[in-house]
Structures are given as C-alpha cells and as structure tokens.
Amino acid sequence: MNTSVNKNLLVELFVEELPPKALKKLGEAFAAALVNSLKNAGLATSTAEVSAYASPRRLAAHVTDVAAVAADKPVVQKLMPVAVGLDANGHATPALLKKLGALGADASIVPSLRRENDGKADILFYDSLAKGATLAEGLQKAVEAALAALPIPKVMTYQLQDGWSSVNFVRPAHGLVALHGSEVVPVAVLGLTSGNATKGHRFEAAVDPVIIADADSYAATMLKDGSVIASFAERRAEIARQLEAAAAQAGANGSAPLRPIEDDALLDEVTALVERPNVLIGQFEEEFLAVPQECLILTMKANQKYFPLLDAAGKLTNKFLVVSNISPEDASAVIGGNERVVRPRLADAKFFFDQDRKKSLESRVIGLSKVVYHNKLGTQGERMQRVAAIARAIGQQLAGEALALHAEQAAVLAKADLLTDMVGEFPELQGIMGRYYAQHDGLNADVADAIEDHYKPRFAGDSLPRGMVGTVVALADKLETLVGMFGIGQIPTGDRDPFALRRHALGVIRMLAEGNLDLPLNELLNVAAGAFAAVDGFKPAESALADFIYDRLAGNLREQGYSAQEVDAVVSQRPQRLGDIPKRLAAVRAFSALPEAAALAAANKRVGNILKKVENAVEAVVDNALLKEAAEIALHDALVEVVPQADAAFVTGDYNESLMALAALRAPVDAFFDGVMVNADDPALRANRLGLLAKLHAAMNRVADLSKLSA
C-alpha cells in the first residue's frame, strides 16, 4: 500500500432493509464513531471531515485526509527509583532487567535511560517510539467500534453462509467496501471481507455489482450505476422538492393551489424507505371526505406513508402523494395499486365513524366504570367524576354557575370517546373524535371544543384550549392527575416520569400564567385534593406538589431568558396568581437597574439573616416610645412614608411602582446599620428594633425576595 500521502477513505456496509425510523440516527452514529476512532488512532487528522450516507440498504461514511500509517508516537515509561534499578556500580538490578524485559528491551539500553527527580527521589524513565498503526489495523478497530456504538433498536441473530457461524446485528449484512483512495483496505466484520463492489437499487441498478473506483466517486457512482441517492439529506431534499412539484401539478386544474401536509417525521421515515424517490399522485373517492379529515390523514400517514394534499384553507382534498421506490415509464399500475390499497383503509375509517355515531357520547359514559385507570385510583369512571367535581369548582370560582355547568358536562363526556371504535383503532384521535361526536349529538359548541381541548397543551409549544370551558376542563384533568399521582407516591425521579407529570405541571403553569386566571395555586390544589376524599390509601401531598410545580415554573422561566437571580427572587415568594409573574419579573429587572438596588438587596439579605437567628418569630410591630437613636427614628419615619405607597401600588398590581418606591429607603437603611446596635442589652429595646427590621423586611419582600439579587 502506498504510504506517501494522505487520501480520502470510504467505508460502506451493505445490508438488508434497515428499520426506517432508526435509519437517520444509525447513519449519523456510524459515521461519527468511525471518524472519531480514526482520529484517536492518529490515522485521520483533527480537521478531517466526515460525510454520512444512509439508505434503506446501506450505511456508509466518507472521511477526508486519512493516512495509510499513523505517525510514530513518543512513549514515556516511568520505571522505578534509581536506587532500586541500579546497584552501587551503576549496573541494572534484576528488578530493572525484569521490567525492561516486559517492555521488550534489554540491558543494552540502560545507559540511555533518563533520570528525573520527582521531588522525593531520582526516577528512571524509558523513552521510546511506538510504531504508528497501519490503516488496515486502525480501520479494523474503527469499523468494529462503529458497529458496536450503533443505536440499534433491536438486534437479530442470523447464520453466515458457512452454515455454522452466526452473528448479531440489526439486519443481515451482505457486503463491505473499504477504499483508501482507490486501494482496498483489508477489513473483516460480520463474516464479510472488504472489497470495492456493492449493490445498487434492488430493481433499477444499471449494473450489478456496482464497482466503486475510488472513495471520492462513491456518491456519483451509486447514483449513475446503482440508481441510488446514497445521502440521506440529499434524498430527503429531493423528496421535498418532488412533493412540492407534484402538489402544484395536482392543483393545476383546480380552482386553488394544493400543498402536501407538513410532517418532518413522516418525511424522515419515507426517506428511509426509498433509495431513489419518485413522487406520484393518487386519488380516492370524494365520498370519503365526509369522514373527519383527521381520521383520513392519520390512516394515510400512519398506515400507508402517503402525503395527503390540502387546499389553501388546510382542508383535505381527495388527492394524495405516494413516494415510490421505482420509476417505470408508465406509472399507472403503481398509482392504481396504491389507490386500491388505500381504499379499504378509508372505508374502515368511514365504517367506524358511521357506527360510532349510532350511540351518543352520554350513553358511553357508563362504560368508563369498566375501564381501569390505576389500581390505586380506580376506574376511568371514578376519575371522570373527580375531574368533573374539580372542573365544576373551578368554573364556579372563575365565572359562576353557567361556566361551572358547561365545564362539568364537558368533563363528564371528555373520556367517553375512548370507548368508540375510531379511537380504539387510532388512539391518537382521542379528544378529536369526542368533539365530532359531541357536535353530532347537538351539544353546546364550547362543550364540544372542550372535549378535544382538555388534552392541551399536549407538548411544549402546543396551543392552549381555545375557550374558557376547555381551559377549565384541561386544568381539572391535569390537576386530578398531578394530585392523584402525588397522593399515592408516584412522584417523578430522575429521568423517570411514566405519567408525564412534568408535562402536566407545565400545562397548568401555562394556562394559569398565559390566561392570567384569578386562581390561587394553593386553592386549586386543595380543591383537587378534596375530590379524592373517598379514595383509600390517598395521602394529600399538596406541599410536595406545590414544590414540584414551582420548580417546573422556575426552569421554564429560565428557559425564557430570565436570569437565575430574577427567577429566584420572584418564585421563592411562591406567588399564588401565576399570571402576575411576568409583571413581577419585569419589575425586578427594572429595580435591579436602580443605583440603590445593590445596597438594598444586600441590606435585605442582612435583615433576613438577623431575623433568622432570633429564637421566636418576630412581629412587625414598633413602639414609637422606644425609638431612641436618630437613625432608627429616621428609618421608622421613612417606612411610615414609603410603605403605604409601596403597598397601594402592590394592591393595584403595579409591581414596578411598588419596588421603585423602596429606593427611598436606601439612605435611612444604611444609616440604621451604621449607627444602631440591633442586639441592645435592654430586651425591650432589642425587641423593638427587631420589630422595626421585621417591618422593613415585610415591606421589601412583597413583590420579590430582594435578597436573591445580592451577589
């Protein structure tokens, strides 16, 4: 092998069809592990670039600037103290000779051993050069490491061609290419030996086998001779381009332009199913459009991997796009086959929809009593009753009897669609189908919307319920889950959160904060806990749950860009109305910019520390007759003037003005600590000064704990 210059490297593993949902990660992981191993072995430079390739039947990586032989590495071996290794005449002792023998050296190198003092004694060191690994050695280890590091969803065992041996891998492997420039690098894995030949498209390759002339021609050769777009990213981009072009063509004869549904996960999956995409237009009978479009879209996407076509208003049309893996001159047979396949799916959806509407949602509610929710919390029917009670109480508090009645009705019916055929077939449609069936039953529009919306927000960035009825039921549903799970000890630990309680907590936070609802958090938790009075083994845990919710709130606020100090200052006060928190944070940020802020924050921290050391709780009460020093009189007078202003602003929700008023306290506070002994010998005097500080502390911490702003 020519070792004079670095060349580019290509490694390809040819396999049977890989799991489509895992392909992208498999390709990225294979390439990353391969190049990292080569870099660690000194065979690839630190600036070497890697290109990952992944198609349904191959994982490959192209690495730039790879050496045929790694450079020799200096090796420093610490041997032993000179006094142990050499005798009085400077000759090697048996201990040193044994050590050198283990390293492949002998007594001849003793004179060249380096001596160095480690601060305690002179030590013998053996300096040598380790031969750099050849590419064949290094690539063998790199490929083995790359295969071992693959995030394989499920390993399978298969027999090799010898009929005796078996190996474990994600899918049976049938070919291995390893090229350094144009030279084959000898590597053997999974019962395969490397070469320069691979296979192209299963049906449309121009030649078989496909011969790769050199590492740099891989992608072009696979496209030309193998009819394969080897790059996952390029294949994905080509599918997206063809989808847009086909959508434009499908809508060319209509009154409005069409667009394919946007679904990145589906696009990734389809990219992992084809090697050379060919997008075709299919259609189905318009009568199926009478079925809710969510059902049709889901069955086309989930079962057939089709891209439904929508009109400009987002309404489903009777046309869809198929990403085919073959490109016949006459595609009519392919299109017809896909249309025949999708028709029974759509017919099933129509049948489910028609059958479900023969029974009202209300008639299904009784069936929830036969569905287990949790072995410690009862059935879905019992859960429904708890959610309904919580929803009624929240609705009553927010807007009175009308909202309470609608919220209660929606809560009772919210889970009834779990017993329908459509949701049984497509669990993803729960709530959505409930809304359609509620509309069919002639229920109030707000109630119908609430049945769908009570699951919202389902994930980060999801929309909130569209109306107040939906908001109330969504709050009740999430609070019931949180309070119930905490009450039976099912509290998230580490990464484990099987009941998605973190997501439920963030949903409650978002609805309360973004909706600016006048619902104190502690009262909500108490109302929800009251619904569990009849549940055996339930132990109220509102305090722990409140901690959990405020922790989620603090993390969420930091993600929004607020500083840790700002968040701690506000959240540590446990504001009950979460809708107030953005205003409190804005006020704290404005206060922090004042020249008086740092001194007042430090003083507040000092006051808090003083009060903590007092054995009994200190009342914020001051006896004017016991005010002796000029500085304490001045501080008291300042409080008498400032506190009413700050409190009045606080009551009206003007938190900015409330904090700004405190700036006038800086000078009297500084003077107090400079000139007044708080812990006076006279108990009455001491108690009065502590009362004055308690009054100051209360005044300064209504909006936020200002001590958290102290560095």
Span 276-321, pLDDT tens digits: 999 999 999 999 999 999 999 999 999 999 999 999 899 999 999 9
Mean pLDDT of 104-110: 83
Neighbour count for residue 156 (Cβ, 10 Å): 12
What's the pLDDT score for residue 711? 61
Check whether 255 has a pLDDT greater than 70.
Answer: no
Lowest-confidence segment of 231-235, 448-452, 660-664 by average pLDDT: 660-664
Check whether 673 has a pLDDT greater than 90.
Answer: no
Strand-pairing partners, residue 310, are 259, 316
Helix 264-271, helix 23-40: angle, nearest 10: 70
Q: Which residue has the higher pLDDT, 110 or 402?
A: 402
Domain closes at, from 356, 374, 406? 356
What's the pLDDT score for residue 398? 94
* CB-count burial class (<10 Å; 0-12, 13-18, 19+) for 399: middle
Are residues 153 and 112 part of one domain?
Answer: no
**What is each CA distance from 111 to 86, 104, 107, 174, in whole angstroms?**
11, 16, 8, 56
Are residues 155 and 11 part of one domain?
Answer: yes
Helix (H, G, I), strand (E, B) or coil at 55: strand
Q: Contact, 438 vs 448, CB < 8 A?
A: yes
Residue 569 lies inside a defined structural domain of this protein: no
Q: Which domain holds residue 395?
A: 366-561
Beta strands in 87-142 (DSSP E): 114-117, 122-130
Mean pLDDT of 422-444: 95
- Cα–Cα distance for residue pair 153/543, rounded to 1 Å: 40
Are residues 553 and 454 part of one domain?
Answer: yes
Neighbour count for residue 236 (Cβ, 10 Å): 19
**What is each CA distance from 276 to 323, 345, 653, in whole angstroms?**
9, 27, 62
Q: Which residue has the higher pLDDT, 362 or 164?
A: 362
Share of residues in the chain with pLDDT > 70 (%): 99
Residue 647: give its domain's CATH number: 1.10.730
Lowest-confidence segment of 27-36, 147-156, 386-395, 612-621 by average pLDDT: 612-621
Q: Contact, 229 vs 204, CB < 8 A?
A: no
pLDDT in tens, 189-221: 999 999 999 999 999 999 999 999 999 999 999
Q: How confident is the model at residue 371 (pLDDT cuts 50, 70, 90)?
A: very high
| Number of independent structural domains in the chain | 5
Check whether 684 has a pLDDT greater than 80.
Answer: yes
Residue type, position 43, single letter? L
Secondary structure, 3-state, 460-497 = CCCCCCCCHHHHHHHHHHHHHHHHHHHHCCCCCECCEC
Q: Contact, 482 vs 539, CB < 8 A?
A: no
- Cα–Cα distance for residue pair 708/569, rounded to 1 Å: 5
Q: Which residue has the higher pLDDT, 425 or 106?
A: 425
Find the length of the chain. 711
Helix (H, G, I), strand (E, B) or coil at 176: strand
Residue 574 lies inside a defined structural domain of this protein: no
Spell out the residues 6+ positions from residue 102 whose beta carbon is closer than 8 angstroms to its own. none
Are residues 84 and 215 part of one domain?
Answer: no
Are residues 97 and 160 part of one domain?
Answer: no
Are residues 471 and 557 part of one domain?
Answer: yes
Are residues 213 and 272 part of one domain?
Answer: no
Strand-pairing partners, residue 59, are 13, 54
Are residues 533 and 645 part of one domain?
Answer: no
Are residues 173 and 30 part of one domain?
Answer: yes
pLDDT in tens, 21-66: 999 999 999 999 999 999 998 999 989 999 999 999 999 999 999 9
Residue 446 lies inside a defined structural domain of this protein: yes
Q: How confident is the model at residue 3 (pLDDT cuts 50, 70, 90)?
A: very low
What's the pLDDT score for residue 4? 52
Domain closes at, from 561, 596, 612? 561
Report the candidate in 407, 415, 405, 409 with the shortest Cα–Cα distance to residue 365. 415
CA angle in degrees (0–180, nearest 5) for 529-532-537: 110
Domain closes at, from 356, 389, 408? 356
Strand-pairing partners, residue 12, are 60, 177
Residue 566 lies inside a defined structural domain of this protein: no
What's the pLDDT score for residue 693? 86
Are residues 333 and 217 part of one domain?
Answer: no
Residue 619 lies inside a defined structural domain of this protein: yes
Mean pLDDT of 245-265: 86
Residue 567 lies inside a defined structural domain of this protein: no
Residue 570 lies inside a defined structural domain of this protein: no
Residue 575 lies inside a defined structural domain of this protein: no
Spell out the residues 6+ positions from residue 708 whose beta carbon is closer than 8 angstroms to its own. 565, 568, 569, 572, 601
Mean pLDDT of 141-170: 88
Mean pLDDT of 537-550: 92
The pLDDT mean for the chain works out to 91
Residue 11: give its domain's CATH number: 3.30.70
Are residues 443 and 550 part of one domain?
Answer: yes
Question: Residue written as tokens 């601060």?
Answer: 119
pLDDT in tens, 327-364: 999 999 999 999 999 999 999 999 999 999 999 999 99
- Cα–Cα distance for residue pair 563/561, rounded to 1 Å: 6
Own/partner pairs for 498-502, CB < 8 Å, 24+ apart? 501/548, 502/552
Neighbour count for residue 442 (Cβ, 10 Å): 8
Are residues 537 and 513 part of one domain?
Answer: yes
Mean pLDDT of 636-663: 90
Secondary structure, 3-state, 221-280 = HHHHCCCCCCCHHHHHHHHHHHHHHHHHHHCCCCCCCCEECCCHHHHHHHHCCCCCCEEE
